[in-house]
Amino acid sequence: MTGLFHSHASTILVTCPRGMASCLKDEMVRLGFPVKSEHATGVETEGTLIDTMRMNLMVRTGHRVLFLLNDFSALTPDELYRGVTALPWEDYLMRDGFFSVVSSVQNQYIRDTRFANLRCKDAIVDRFMKKYGSRPDTGSSKHGAVVFLYWHDNRCSLYLDTSGEPLSRRGYRTVPLTAPLQETLAAAVIMMTRWNGSDVFINPMCGSGTLAIEAALMAASIAPGLTRKHFGFMHLKGFDASAWRDLTTSAKKIVTVPVRGTVIASDISRDAIEASRSNAARAGVDRFIEFHRCDFRETPVPGGPGVVVLNPEYGERMGHEDSLKTLYGEIGNFFKHRCRGMWGYVFTGNRELAKKIGLRTARKILFMNGPIECRLLEYDLYQGSRKQLKSTGGYDK
């Protein structure tokens, strides 16, 4: 039944962490999706399940692509059950398939969101049993179909979570090391810099390589979803596998090799460089990144224009602060003496340490890294006339 995938248009909510919605909105517009509204944690558009497949494949900064099935009013768990069971789940889910329920619940009758998930799951399963005498399997794995329940006060919305595992898990990072940035956050950070995708991108202190890998994916126009094997939409009834093949074939056609930009990643730790290399290989971009094992101050810096982006530790460990103060001061010196003609960026969650950089910030962009308020600090490292330099107008693909 390909009808559900092609003909049924609905509201699509693409979610993202706080602080990333404007980035996501710009990306959706660039990809040609009409944006109906922007919220703190997502962007609403409209389309079919085929459109959700393209979003899952192409969007770099979204977390989940949710396809709205129905909105209704429900205050109590019984009302929720009745609203859920009224939907034609047999049109969306496979009788012999597997599904899980995830939710965002804020309701006076519900102390534990697991109870809401359970009621929702029971309502779906009971409908199958009544109709066919058999039912899909259920559990917590996100590797089957995923139903998303939004239930705040008496407003209840049911979605198909077409992503399944959140899109931040691109699938290339099997060696994460300590304090890695989420892939989607790294993509958003890069998009907020002035890198245009073809100038130099330097990432000292690369850790597991997330920023460099995301930059290389952008420089080569590789769709982020190409590295993933699993999406929630693949487990929905009527999944159009040939449409998915067409989408991935078109995405492969726009891959630009050799890449236009130069991407350089360095770290003082041997483990970090090894992890970065193997993560980059899994993402298919290892040949587009120059890796160096060295102190950040020794990172090779070809002439500008371009950007230097660092994500140093920011002192979650006690007693570590003094050495980090010195490190942040050294970052300032590195920018001043080695990175002339470029834009410098530091992504950090510690404002006191950021002051130690000692340079005037041109911009401060707020992000949330999980519960931690972070800032991307921008430094203008140009000296002399900017007019002579090719402009870096920001990543724009």
List interacting residues with ligand SAM (CB under 6 A): 177, 179-181, 204-205, 207-208, 210-211, 267-269, 272, 295-296, 311-313
Strands 145-152 and 155-161, bridge-based pairing:
antiparallel
The residue with its CB nearest to ligand SAM is: 207
In the complex, the smallest distance separating the C-beta of residue 210 from ligand SAM, rounded to whole angstroms, is 3
Cβ proximity to ligand SAM: between 221 and 269 the closer is: 269
Cβ proximity to ligand SAM: between 43 and 177 the closer is: 177
In the complex, the smallest distance separating the C-beta of residue 324 from ligand SAM, rounded to whole angstroms, is 9
In the complex, the smallest distance separating the C-beta of residue 206 from ligand SAM, rounded to whole angstroms, is 6
In the complex, the smallest distance separating the C-beta of residue 100 from ligand SAM, rounded to whole angstroms, is 28
Cβ proximity to ligand SAM: between 161 and 313 the closer is: 313
In 3D, which of 104, 110, 52, 58 has the Cα closest to residue 79?
110
Residue 320 · residue 313 · CB < 8 Å: yes
In 3D, which of 183, 139, 144 has the Cα closest to residue 163?
144
Q: How far apart are CA 214 and CA 305, in angstroms?
A: 19
Cβ proximity to ligand SAM: between 99 and 345 the closer is: 345
Task: For Cα atoms 184, 187, 191, give the angle at the middle one, nearest 5 degrees.
Answer: 140
Cross-sheet strand order for the sheet of 262-267: 289-293, 262-267, 200-203, 306-310, 343-348, 372-380, 363-369
Residue 121 · residue 128 · CB < 8 Å: no
In the complex, the smallest distance separating the C-beta of residue 259 from ligand SAM, rounded to whole angstroms, is 20
In the complex, the smallest distance separating the C-beta of residue 78 from ligand SAM, rounded to whole angstroms, is 46
Strands 262-267 and 289-293, bridge-based pairing:
parallel
Q: How far apart are CA 20 and CA 63, in angstroms?
A: 10
In the complex, the smallest distance separating the C-beta of residue 263 from ligand SAM, rounded to whole angstroms, is 14
Cβ proximity to ligand SAM: between 214 and 378 the closer is: 214
Cβ proximity to ligand SAM: between 17 and 47 the closer is: 17
In the complex, the smallest distance separating the C-beta of residue 271 from ligand SAM, rounded to whole angstroms, is 8
DSSP letter string, 161-226:
ESSSS-TT--S--S---SSPPPHHHHHHHHHHSS--SSSEEEESS-TT-HHHHHHHHHHTT--GGG
Cβ proximity to ligand SAM: between 12 and 192 the closer is: 192
Q: Is 68 helix (H, G, I), strand (E, B) or coil?
A: strand
Cβ proximity to ligand SAM: between 60 and 135 the closer is: 60
Tell me the Cα Rg of the chain.
23
